């Protein structure tokens, strides 16, 4: 009797284990046979199409791309005509990616949709299966706040490299401080702290710097704070102010070209000696900004163009009268963009860097008049821009409190020195 119970128990255990193994096998089969998720991109189920991804090559046109993929010329003409108000098909840029969604039902796999990506976020969709239509969309972008800091040991670009940061931050900082800091004369030991945001698509793919929201720059031992603040939500007017609500902008920019393009090759100097002229003193009443030919030249302040001509050693030049006190001039242009009588705003392009007139290399000579006399613009106390509205000042000071605390809490660390490996040969040479 006892033996029978033992045999029964063994049978039950074996049966239970068999069921367990069978269930496990079923689960594994189910996991293996589970269909892959349907990939989605640009708002389309990609499994519904034969997907062709490629890059616009030099010389490619919209028509040639479609013609190579079995779309006839008459259809291409219809597509171009019906979509011209949405997207100019002539604006395809070499190196940019495009996608063709082709039918699975046709042995020729003819495209039904063309998708062009002018940048990593935006894309243009041109559909032409039945009816033709085009529209522009953007991928969802996630904004992530970041902090950064650095110290100048050689240059701002070098400090960003040492900290593993994007060079775009240098350009953004130079724009924010364009009126208050001479970025061509940064000092060793100058330091910066930033609160900024980066853009990501699909949560993980970095697609660039968004903007700087708050900054601290210590230049020549003097601190400069900058806080982004919207002063008009309807017109979306945004500016940068310091910790006392003073606008960082001035009536004049520090330079007639953007920081990323240039270097100062010669400064205002009334005692300059030139070898070409027998080392005699030839006063230089301008500041030369060396830059590649074709670099945009911008007006440093609002004003009216009073001269736009080509003359002698000046070459192509433009002169702008800003008010009864200040006038600026821009020499050696490749080409002028403005005419006498035109009103230009601060930052407007008025011409392009060239080598016309007396010049040994491409640059713009920037000249600055105050009360009819040429002076060094870097030694002038230039007028401020309009201050923040008194009604907004209290709200602004409250707004920046947590940002200033956060900025002040960011530590600035010196880059670690590079340790040089001493080789046996070096030791032998020393001995």
The pLDDT of residue 117: 94
Please indicate whether the domains covering 41-138 and 141-250+385-418 agree at the CATH topology level.
yes
pLDDT at 147 over 60: yes
Give residue for tokens 């007639």.
256
pLDDT at 202 over 90: no
Q: Give pLDDT tens digits for 268-289.
A: 776 665 555 556 666 778 889 9
pLDDT at 344 over 70: yes
CA 129 → CA 49, 80, 110, 134, 181, distances in Å?
12, 14, 9, 12, 57
Taking domain 41-138, whether its CATH number is 3.10.450.350 is answered by yes
pLDDT higher at 105 or 12: 105
Taking domain 141-250+385-418, whether its CATH number is 3.10.450.350 is answered by yes
Neighbours of 204 (CB within 10 A): 7
Which residues are within 8 A (CB) of 165 and not within 5 positions of it... i.e. 6 or more apart? Answer: 148, 150
pLDDT confidence of 4, banded at 50, 70, 90?
Answer: low
* SS3 state of residue 204: coil
Taking residues 363-385, report their average pLDDT: 87
Whether the CB-CB separation of 279 and 199 falls below 8 Å is answered with no
Give residue for tokens 């210590």.
218
- Of 318, 325, 394, 326, the closest CA to residue 349 belongs to 318
- Of 287, 264, 286, 173, the closest CA to residue 219 belongs to 173
**Domain 259-379, CATH homologous superfamily name and number:** Glucose Permease (Domain IIA) (2.70.70.10)
Which residues are within 8 A (CB) of 133 and not within 5 positions of it... i.e. 6 or more apart? Answer: 82, 83, 126, 127
d(CA 337, CA 352): 8
Whether the CB-CB separation of 382 and 333 falls below 8 Å is answered with no
Q: What is the per-residue DSSP string for 222-282?
A: EEEEEEEEEEETTTTEEEEE-TTS-BS-BSS-S-SS-GGG-EEEE--BTT-EEGGGTTEE-
pTM, two decimal places? 0.64
pLDDT at 339 over 60: yes
pLDDT at 167 over 80: yes
Indicate the domain borders of the chain: 41-138, 141-250+385-418, 259-379
d(CA 91, CA 238): 31
pLDDT higher at 338 or 205: 338
């Amino acid at each position: 009797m006892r033996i029978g119970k033992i045999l029964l128990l063994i049978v039950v255990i074996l049966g239970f284990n068999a069921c367990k193994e069978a269930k496990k096998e079923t689960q594994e089969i189910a996991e293996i046979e589970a269909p892959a998720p349907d990939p989605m991109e640009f708002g389309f189920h990609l499994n519904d199409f034969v997907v062709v991804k490629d890059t616009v090559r030099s010389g490619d046109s919209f028509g040639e791309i479609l013609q190579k993929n079995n779309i006839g010329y008459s259809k291409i003409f219809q597509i171009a005509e019906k979509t011209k108000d949405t997207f100019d098909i002539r604006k395809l840029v070499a190196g940019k990616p495009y996608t063709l969604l082709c039918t699975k039902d046709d042995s020729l796999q003819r495209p039904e949709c063309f998708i062009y990506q002018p940048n990593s976020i935006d894309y243009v969709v041109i559909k032409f299966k039945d009816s033709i239509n085009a529209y522009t969309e953007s991928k969802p972008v996630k904004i992530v706040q970041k902090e950064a800091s650095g110290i100048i040991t050689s240059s701002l670009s070098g400090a960003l490299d040492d900290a593993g940061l994007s060079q775009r931050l240098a350009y953004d900082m130079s724009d924010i401080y364009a009126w208050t800091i001479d970025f061509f004369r940064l000092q060793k030991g100058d330091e910066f702290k930033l609160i900024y945001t980066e853009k990501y698509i699909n949560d993980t793919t970095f697609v660039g710097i968004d903007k700087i929201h708050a900054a601290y720059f210590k230049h020549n031992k003097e601190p400069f704070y900058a806080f982004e603040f919207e002063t008009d939500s309807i017109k979306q007017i945004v500016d940068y102010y310091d910790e006392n609500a003073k606008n960082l902008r001035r009536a004049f920019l520090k330079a007639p070209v953007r920081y990323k393009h240039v270097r100062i090759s010669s400064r205002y100097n009334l005692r300059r000696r030139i070898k070409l002229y027998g080392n005699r003193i030839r006063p230089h009443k301008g500041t030369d900004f060396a830059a590649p030919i074709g670099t945009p030249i911008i007006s440093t302040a609002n004003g009216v163009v009073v001269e736009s001509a080509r003359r002698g050693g000046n070459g192509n030049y433009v002169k702008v009268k800003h008010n009864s006190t200040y006038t600026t001039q821009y020499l050696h242009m490749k080409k002028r963009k403005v005419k006498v009588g035109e009103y230009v705003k601060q930052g407007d392009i008025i011409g392009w860097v060239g080598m016309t007139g007396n010049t040994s290399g491409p640059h713009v000579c920037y000249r600055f008049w105050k009360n009819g006399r040429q002076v060094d613009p870097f030694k002038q106390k230039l007028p401020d821009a309009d201050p923040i509205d008194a009604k907004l000042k209290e709200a602004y000071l409250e707004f920046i409190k947590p940002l200033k605390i956060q900025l002040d809490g960011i530590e600035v660390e010196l880059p670690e020195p590079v340790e040089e490996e001493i080789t046996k040969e070096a030791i032998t040479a020393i001995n």
